[in-house]
Structure 1
């Protein structure tokens, strides 16, 4: 399997998983609902975010953030494509990381284009401290970034 097929396949799987889970949440849970799964640690929630990670620019009174994040996402996708082009065919780790990042970016882009906001539903917390809610696309982006760091570290050796 060449690097483009691998990255594209991973991105495709991420987008499908991301969109299926978001559809399930939108269909089964009322907006702003919360369902306790592990008391004191984990809830399924149905929240939306017009901004980026950690609620950055998540405000209804900012009219330009949707277009801003769409443009930023396309720029990130272009950067991923350039990195993929320059990646060695044998560096499967870097290719996998780029595929995960691409899939996550596309998953959240679909939400921004169709709904003008991103659906988040995983809510981890300890006591009253809550990590910001996130989704499968966010997980893929973080895992992809972590894989890229590992790949770069291994190449330095």
Structure 2
């Protein structure tokens, strides 16, 4: 496919460009939150969505957020290691598996956004707050969204699309 040519031919360049865009968008939105909402502020935008300004000292869903401080460096090291592994996978990726490569690039952009926050600030800034019938999903950010979208694409490509391609080609 023409639109994936850069990913197929120069996966590291594509990774740098796309991951950088995700990282910059993530950091820009977090900067806007810090400049326009005080810590703890909640602005209701719709009946199911708020903008909030919260600090997450832990991982996803605030896991380890009250662990006493050691989690900052633990999660920072894990993020750095995961990012290096993802770059290695991108470098070694099969040029025909462009969706898998794209999914890894998207995950990398999100991982770098949260890695930067943990390294520099000691916490991750979360601001997207969805809720329904009094139940709030944990607040998250653009980096978290990228990681989730990338993971969904990765799973879909490896479980659904690859199986469909094998069935089409007659492989089992």
Is the partner of 1:120 in helix, strand or coil? strand
Q: Which runs of 5+ in 1 are unaligned?
A: none
Give 1:86 shift.
Answer: 2.5
Equivalent positions of 1:101-140 (< 5 A) are 101-140=107-146
- Structure 2 partner of 1:28: 36
> Could you say which structure has the greater relative contact order, defined with CA pairs below 8 angstroms and 6 or more residues apart?
1
User: 1:28-62, CA deviations, whole angstroms, 9 ceiling, x for partnerless residues?
Assistant: 000000000002x1000000100000110011x51
Give 1:20 shift.
Answer: 0.2
- How many residue pairs get aligned? The number is 155
User: 1:94-149, CA deviations, whole angstroms, 9 ceiling, x for partnerless residues?
Assistant: 11111111110110111111111000000000021000000000000000101111
Is the partner of 2:45 in helix, strand or coil? strand
- Which protein is bigger by CA-based radius of gyration? 2
Provide TM-score, normalisation by structure 1: 0.94
- Structure 1 partner of 2:26: 18
Is the partner of 2:50 in helix, strand or coil? strand
Q: Which runs of 5+ in 2 are unaligned?
A: 1-5, 167-172
Provide TM-score, normalisation by structure 2: 0.86
Instruction: Show structure 1 runs of 4+ deviating over 4 A.
Output: none
